[in-house]
Structure 1
Amino acid sequence: MMEENTVLENPKLRPVEALPVTVENQEMFAIRDPKSESDEWVLISPQWLFILGLFTGHNSIRDIQYLYVKKYGTLISTDIIQDIINQIDEKLLLESPRFQQHLQKSKDDYLALPLRPAIYKNKSYPSEPEELDRHIQSFFTAAKGPGPIKTENRLAPPAGLIAPHIDFHRGGPCFAHAYKILAEAQDIDLFILLGTDHDETKNFYSLSSKSYDTPFGIAERDVDFIQQLCRRVDFDLYEDEFNHRREHSIEFQAVFLKWLYQSRSPFTIVPILCGSFLSLILNDEEPSANDQIMGFIQAIRSCLAEYPKKVCIVAGVDFSHVGVQFGAVQGPTQAELTTIAKEDNELIEKIAQREPDQFFQLLAKNKNHHNICGVSAIYTLLSIVTASEGKLLNYDYWHDGKVGSMVSFSSLVFY
């Protein structure tokens, strides 16, 4: 049954992606909410895009009508604007009662699940274990891959890894550089998985109350470790748990780990999403001066100090995000790609030196103008990993000239 449309006097558009497309020789735009569970793109005209840009939550329908006339010189009726509002609201792209009702149901449904499902199977990777196994193995032998895995003499395990969280088909070989280190190392008992939370959060860190399902089986939570961690922080680590449902940055690491350990000793995980540090960057604040961040870091350090078995900390992060898909007017030029790689590698040097504050200060100096999304996970890893050496394994980027967008990513190891 279709829900009745609510009259929204001052419509507010949710954060959406907008990409230019050509449909039957007409310039159009495809929009979607990247944080919804739907991958549906909605096609709109440039005029509609202008109107949606006025859905700020402050403009009334009359205001929108006036601004449209001022822009295009022709009158648009309030009925047409209301119809646009209704259609966009039905697609769950507005902050509205309809969206809030949908969101609450989604939260209730998710919390009732026994496991965090592998929601990106059949989207970002095959769902069948045999096909996925072949898919992952191909990353190691690809032109940009690290080569076949050698398991004759397993080496000492790493203390930490940085791996990408970009889609497998774009960054698979870079993933392989990180996971080859684990494949050739002695078994690890516990993986602290630091994911990048791409959604809004109330706190800087959130735990999952559910183990992660994968095509290769369940990556089980370490309940004892998690309970110890919860007792040592002064905020609710489950307040932002719903963000785990759609977030891929931990799921992709869980898939690789379960693939890697199919015939090895069992392991457990502590899945932690790390919220954005953007507010700190914009306000010229240091993470080291933030009570919640430093309290969490101290809490997890103390838990790790008491853990008797082998631990590896894995941060699932990507680096620069530039171009049309990320809010720019046009895609990067070749010269700009060179500059981005240079700046990325200056940051990577600080990461390899295990200098969390210097890494953050260097990035904050330019207000993170290249939209590096893994800042909080990187900072947290560097603050808790016990290592004397960091090493760059691989740096690469995905660039789509047609879309006009680029994402860079890297793999590093810490011993």
Structure 2
Amino acid sequence: MDATYKPILRYVDVIPAKHEGKPVFLLRDPVGIIEDVVVVPQNVVFLLPLMDGKHDLRDLQVEATKRFGEIVPLEEIIKIVNFLDEKGFLWSKNFEEIKSKAYENWLSLPLRPMAHAKQAYPLSASEAKFFIDDILKLCNPDSSKPPKILIAPHIDIRAGAKAFAESYNRFKIPSGSRVIIFGVGHHLDLPWSVLTKDLATPFGVVKNDRGGLLYLSNSKKIELFPNHIAHKLEHSIEFQILFLHHLLKDEFVILPFLIGPLIIFFEDKTKELVEKFIEALSELIDDRTYIILGIDFCHLGPRYGDPFEVSEAYIKKILETDKSLLELTFNGKSEDFLNETKKLTPMKICGLSCLYLVNLLLNKLNIKGEYQIFYQEAIPFGQGSVVSVVSAGYHF
């Protein structure tokens, strides 16, 4: 490695912590390709933003020298960069080799293990049952017909407990149903990715819809981008499965998709894929098929990069934005949806692509149903920051 090398840091979580009594930062791979958490001293973290492929090692050395007020040997910079590369946190040949092995291990798993048990929810079946039952007690809605399309949050279950309760208390669907799940792929770089594996929960194993999967892949020959490694740690589907398995036992199958960012759907090369995808999905919609969206809505405040704290007045605007978005989703034209949502970029709504696919699907089926918002909330999530969630359903 010479002085002209320009390191590129991968997208990683940088978490302040303490190690052996000293302030440090932890580097964590949110996708799960790298399983180890790496400890980085606080006094070198300032170098990470410079590892952007534009600055070489001399640039890093100059910045370090300015920071410490004395010459930092180039060898020290090389040592830091080599360490990050060895651990798989830089884009490099070494990372590609690590990634290849990680995919090999991931694809060999017979089912998707729980990624968030013991943190987001209990691991044991008995404790998980009490945990979910306590949440479901937060509301007692009328026992009306379950919605064909359900919107539920994917925020931390404890923080969003009321919204989860409002959604899943209304989702007592018949035995033998198929549930198509659209979950936000926070780290997915594709339009979507289906998971073909069964999924583990504290209650056992939830079966994948093999019939639906074969129909899409073999009969319709749809590009499904199966089993992207983003499924490994993503929580947006996992949290829905937890509630479903508790409520429905083993009497249902799932067809789970992670959905990538909306910007991908603006690309010309994606449009034909989307058209075929929606056409194929529309042919799966029948009396025993239901759809769940595991999505959150607006993310605002300092935690999410905004230069302001969210006021009570602004929260009213957030909730009105979410209402308007649902009206557009269920009753708007697809072209209008895209045009309007372009204006919503500052709101940082992570469920837009899932909502767009539902809008396309309803327009394709020419279905005219009715939607109902069961519950809305802007949940405090960090100093002056909020995440808005919605519990809603669509009947047809």
Aligned-partner residue type, residue 125 of structure 1: Y
1:299 partnered with 2:280 = yes
1:412 partnered with 2:389 = no
Q: Contact 2:297/2:389 (CA < 8 Å) preserved in 1?
A: yes
Cα distance between partner residues in 2 of 1:239 and 1:413: 28
Shift of 1:339: 3.5
TM alignment of 1:10-159, pairs within 5 A: 10-18=6-14, 31-36=27-32, 38=35, 40=37, 42-45=39-42, 48-69=44-65, 74-141=70-137, 145-147=138-140, 155-159=144-148
Q: Contact 2:216/2:222 (CA < 8 Å) preserved in 1?
A: no
Shift of 1:322: 2.7
C-alpha distance 395-369 of structure 1, shift in aligned 2 (>3 A): same
| Secondary structure of the structure 1 residue equivalent to 2:273 | helix
Shift of 1:397: 2.9
Residue 299 of structure 2: aligned partner: 321
Residue 277 of structure 1: aligned partner: 262
- Unaligned ranges ≥5, structure 2: none
Aligned-partner residue type, residue 275 of structure 1: G
- Unaligned ranges ≥5, structure 1: none
Q: Contact 2:13/2:30 (CA < 8 Å) preserved in 1?
A: yes
Shift of 1:407: 1.9
Shift of 1:121: 1.2
Q: Contact 1:192/1:313 (CA < 8 Å) preserved in 2?
A: yes
Residue 183 of structure 2: aligned partner: 195
* Residue-by-residue CA offset, 1:65-103 (whole Å, 9 max, x unaligned): 234456676432212212221333344322233332322
Cα distance between partner residues in 2 of 1:215 and 1:245: 17
Residue 251 of structure 2: aligned partner: 266
1:379 partnered with 2:367 = no
Q: Contact 2:380/2:386 (CA < 8 Å) preserved in 1?
A: yes
Shift of 1:354: 5.8
Aligned-partner residue type, residue 272 of structure 1: F
| Secondary structure of the structure 1 residue equivalent to 2:389 | strand
Cα distance between partner residues in 2 of 1:52 and 1:350: 41
Q: Contact 1:352/1:412 (CA < 8 Å) preserved in 2?
A: no
C-alpha distance 334-7 of structure 1, shift in aligned 2 (>3 A): farther
Q: Contact 2:13/2:29 (CA < 8 Å) preserved in 1?
A: yes
Cα distance between partner residues in 1 of 2:69 and 2:306: 27
C-alpha distance 249-82 of structure 1, shift in aligned 2 (>3 A): same
Instruction: Work out the percentage of aligned pairs sharing the same amino acid.
Output: 28
Instruction: Give the TM-score normalised by the residue count of structure 1.
Output: 0.82
Shift of 1:326: 3.2
Say which of 168, 172, 194 aligns to 1:179: 168
Cα distance between partner residues in 2 of 1:328 and 1:26: 29
Q: Contact 2:188/2:259 (CA < 8 Å) preserved in 1?
A: no
Residue 256 of structure 1: aligned partner: 243
Shift of 1:26: 8.8
Cα distance between partner residues in 2 of 1:31 and 1:336: 33
Aligned-residue Cα RMSD (Å) equals 3.2
Residue 205 of structure 1: aligned partner: 192
Instruction: Give the TM-score normalised by the residue count of structure 2.
Output: 0.86
Residue 363 of structure 1: aligned partner: 341
